[in-house]
Structure 1
């Protein structure tokens, strides 16, 4: 039952997330292409330069939590039941999305986004494994 709900939920959720990544949350087109490739440094600089904790939580935790549902993709694509395959596929996809943000100037290509988003998928994978192990009747 849960897998059926997930299959219905994940496509509109993905479209909504793409909307947020390119058009939502006050997005605008930058005058020039921006790339931040120093891992962790840009997030630390963001946290230090931000006065409001709400912004820090929304951006940093949002970049993790919003991607947790993709840790369950093995329910739809059996090939992605393996963590290595899931993370490789996801990282390939998120790098493409980040590159599109860069080339369209509707966002910034940030290494930290790739890291945080992938961590969210990893957490989702762990949650999925936990649910499958402890709630077999619910999942089937």
Structure 2
């Protein structure tokens, strides 16, 4: 009998809910990811990379916005008004910043930061190019906040 998971983050709880009756082992196989990696995501000790988040949301039929931030209804990915390319750039920017500064951002904080930056960009800018420029500015601000100058 499998142990009952105790997710540490809201993201982990949503991932488990989205997986539903699909076995974790089956999800890992479909995603071509190690079972231990998927288990880490579901416990909340690690966070999937941007490309994997997109694959998970599509495979499980939930919006990226709901999966990552819990802000949108748990609608199908096709119903979500989400800019996948922008979200991917935000995730990649945070990962790069973390690596450049040598700072590990814990998964729950990383998820909150991604959601905050994405929300700020969508609310403040109309379109793609403006949002890309805005992302550069926001990442500079985050770099200053974590002490990287």
Q: Shorter-chain-normalised TM-score: which range?
A: under 0.3
The structure that is helix-richer by fraction is: 1
> With structure 1 as the length reference, what TM-score do the two structures score?
0.27
TM-score of the two chains, using structure 2 as the length reference: 0.26
